[in-house]
Chains A and B, each alone.
Chain A
Amino acid sequence: KAGVTQTPRYLIKTRGQQVTLSCSPISGHRSVSWYQQTPGQGLQFLFEYFSETQRNKGNFPGRFSGRQFSNSRSEMNVSTLELGDSALYLCASSLGSGVVETQYFGPGTRLLVL
């Protein structure tokens, strides 16, 4: 079974631009979560989508948004990029059935904002 895939793997943007990251979950998984990982703040939860609906949201500004498609693929968008948005963005998928489950993480997208 293919794992979680994230595209692109690396990205360089400049301040003020916007960016869209993509995540394809494991087949059959309906929950997709996004995390931001930085050396200073560690791993922080951004949001979780389940069946095309945002189920949970972390404490990030509105510049960070996401969506999930009917095939469970998810995208996250960051508008008006700031230098502090440079980070590794991780996506994780799980079945989403409500029982405590294993999350499977993708390799991440490394975003550098110049």
Chain B
Amino acid sequence: AQSVTQPDIHITVSEGASLELRCNYSYGATPYLFWYVQSPGQGLQLLLKYFSGDTLVQGIKGFEAEFKRSQSSFNLRKPSVHWSDAAEYFCAVGAGTNAGKSTFGDGTTLTVKP
């Protein structure tokens, strides 16, 4: 069975600092990986996804993620955090090509200090 671990429940960074959110997955075949962001009271928005090709994936809002098969990781990064990035971030693995059945991590809450 597939699973996703986000080791950091809560991260605080200063505005303008760099950010890395960790994600480790377990999946028997080639994983289909996603990062989502959820602002309070809102649904999830896809930041980026990986299913093949270049292991460095660019997403929206200046985010990127790197797939490392040897480490079973798909960490999310941003070089300079903005106050508006404060939210909860979820990593997810899809079942095969079917994004409709995704397994999510427990999420990482990002706080941005002024």
Chain A residues in contact with chain B, CB under 8 A?
A: 4, 31, 33, 35, 42-45, 48, 50, 55-56, 58, 90, 92, 94, 96, 98-108
Contacts and interface: CB of A to CB of B under 8 A. Distances in A.
B43 A108 contact: yes
Interface residues of B, number: 26
A33 B102 CA distance: 9
B109 to A, nearest CB: 12
Contacts, number: 67
Nearest to A107: B43
A50 B100 contact: yes
Given A90-B44, A107-B42, A98 B98 contact: yes
B51 A58 contact: no
A96 B44 contact: no
A31 B100 contact: yes
Contacts of A31: 100
